[in-house]
Chains A and B, each alone.
Chain A
């Protein structure tokens, strides 16, 4: 489903984030990506939706080479992915439901069906009763779940989350982890980057440990 072939990513200023990385992720896996800060986790995740381009090597997502993907094709690649960002990137100027409907609007989903679909996504993450709330009034855990609802509303085949439990208490973190597992159980390929694998480790079909931009033994 996702294949990295000898991928190197070097940022200007000669810091090498990924060094000659080769890894394949199969459909239906739940991959937990661990490693210290700066080990290359975020970079690896950003390469998949073409938020970053590799310096060399090839990346194939669902049969499409995205190392050399055209700018115009990037939006259609991203629509196939569910992205959960480290800083969540919620829009605080509109209520919860509108945040979840944004991806539907972007893909041109019919207006009259969009709210129902958005509510279904909110229901899955347990936020159905907060649809009219403004995101700023949500707790940290609720905000994270809102970000997840927005990522899954288009029913992507691949879910990518960068530190989804970074600022959460252990109990909240476990809830979130459980959510990801439930998506994985219905066939979604899930990739989660986290610096503590205590929560996610037990759920993973595979743990990939990154150190200095390379795969390493945990």
Chain B
């Protein structure tokens, strides 16, 4: 057990020495892994942020009922009564056209435009929240409301969120595929790096063999090398994503403001960060392992 520990510590130290001995090679190796993994990791981060937003919207099914422009207060009250009698409605609230106008006037830029308009372009509206999330019932309610007199348009607000959600699921699948492909690329890069390592260490490998080195003794430093390169690369990928979050946060939440929602860019949570770095290390180890079992026998000679 003690010998085993000594051997592993020494193999790790040797791997570190080899990484340090060729700093430029190491830097580029780590960068290749980092940048390659930053792509799917960044995609995942973006998707998760938008998904969280989409879920939030989709989870509160709302129907917006816009009244005709010539609807009077009397008409609006009538529709309010109809809604009161309608089943399956959790709550509804009336948003008058004047309120809407006032709200939009507070938005910089829009105020000027609205002042140029001759009248109030906004209709009165009801925002209806249903008890049920079943899309069929929601649509039935929307159709019912659309047929009422003085209703210009009834809109299922969560429909687009659902479509967005489906789209994002597709996006996540694409990210997964990308991660898989780029993972193979990282294995290939490590495979090649280790192949070159084995070539340059040929003399040491041969001599060590003759002096009684086991397979494990010869292979361990390469495994550690590949794993370390992967772990460092994963860390670089994490840093790239974290940097991207910092840079994109402001513009991203501005987009959210334009849609009237709270759209925030979420940095990778701890669990996913660890998965990212661990996955990178695993890929490095796998590449090293494949390379070592492929190239070592031929480098050993006798």
Contact = CB atoms under 8 A, between A and B. Distances in A.
Nearest to A82: B211
B99 interface: no
B129 to A, nearest CB: 70
Interface stretch (A100-108, A168-176, A205-213): A100-108
A205 to B, nearest CB: 26
Nearest to B207: A89
Contact of B210 (A52, A83, A105, A109): A83
B217 interface: yes
Contacts of B206: 89
A106 B217 contact: yes
Contacts of B211: 78-79, 83, 102-103, 106, 150
A105 B10 contact: yes
Contacts of B215: 72
Interface string A35-69: 00000000000100101100000000000000000
A79 B212 contact: yes
A77 B211 CA distance: 10
Contacts, number: 56
A83 B208 CA distance: 12
Nearest to A111: B6
Contacts of B208: 102, 106
A108 B212 contact: no
A107 B3 CA distance: 8
Interface string A85-129: 100011111000000001101111111000000000000000000
A187 interface: no
A53 to B, nearest CB: 10
Given A89-B207, A91-B203, A102-B207, A76 B7 contact: no
A75 interface: yes
Interface in B209-224: 209-215, 217
Contacts of B6: 108-111
Interface residues of A, number: 27
B212 A103 contact: yes
A57 to B, nearest CB: 20
A92 B302 CA distance: 21
B204 interface: yes
Nearest to A110: B6
Contact of A106 (B9, B203, B213, B302): B213
Contacts of B207: 89-91, 102
Contacts of A89: 203, 206-207, 210
Contact of B302 (A51, A72, A105): A51
A46 B10 CA distance: 30
A162 B215 CA distance: 25
A75 B10 contact: no
B23 to A, nearest CB: 17
A107 B204 CA distance: 15
Interface in A145-200: 150
A91 B212 contact: no
B212 A75 contact: yes
A49 B217 contact: no
Residue of B3, B10, B204, B212 with most chain A CB atoms under a 10 A cut-off: B212
B281 to A, nearest CB: 25
A78 B302 CA distance: 13
A92 B9 CA distance: 24
B7 A108 contact: yes
Residue of A51, A72, A107 with most chain B CB atoms under a 10 A cut-off: A107
Contacts of B3: 107-108
A214 to B, nearest CB: 24
14 contacts: A49-B210, A75-B209, A75-B213, A78-B210, A83-B211, A91-B207, A93-B203, A102-B207, A102-B208, A103-B211, A105-B10, A107-B212, A109-B6, A150-B211
